[in-house]
Amino acid sequence: MNYIWDILLKADKQNILRGNIKFVPAKVYSPYMEIAFADLNANSLPSDNTIEINGYYRFQNIFDELLNVNFDESKELIETFFDIVIHFLDEIDLSQGLCKNEYYKKFIMKDIRNGSFGYELSENINEFNKEEIDYLLSGLITLYVTGESSEKLKLHLEII
């Protein structure tokens, strides 16, 4: 895990809500890495979900004055602001790699959760794992694009 977006992907795999991750400015860090883990080969998130970030690695123009070591006031405010901004930058990082189908999947998933595909599905969608949800959403996109009948959807659901 070398970048902040990699942390979010790892959290998704470990079923950790992204909002439960706390990003804090690293006190000790390498100038060559964005994530400041004590163990460089870490494969999972720390148990407290607190991630130390080298804010200067890619975002020096944003954090240069904010993280100045000579500025001792409002440490709690600075950490809260840092966490919010890193979460925002992280979401931008993730969305830059999305294709059109991934955006469609996000919209369809929002509709599923809002009950547009039925109450039962909206209540039970969390029972599916990430791969099953991706397969279902891909099948729905295929239905929309090709105009195939519900027989195609039945085929997809039988495989799941």
pLDDT at 154: 64
Our CA angle for 50, 54, 58, nearest 5°, is 125
pTM of the predicted protein model: 0.59
pLDDT at 30: 77
pLDDT at 108: 92
d(CA 24, CA 45): 14
* Range with lowest mean pLDDT among 12-16, 32-36, 87-91: 32-36
Give 65: exposed, middle or buried? Use CB within 10 Å, 0-12, 13-18, 19+: exposed
**Band of pLDDT at residue 19, cut at 50, 70 and 90:** confident
**Dihedral Cα 150, 103, 16, 111, nearest 10 deg:** -50
Residue pLDDT, tens place only, 88-124: 888 888 777 667 788 888 899 999 999 988 889 899 9
pLDDT at 160: 55
112 vs 158: which has the higher pLDDT: 112
Residue pLDDT, tens place only, 35-80: 877 666 677 777 888 888 888 788 888 887 777 666 677 778 888 8
123 vs 7: which has the higher pLDDT: 123
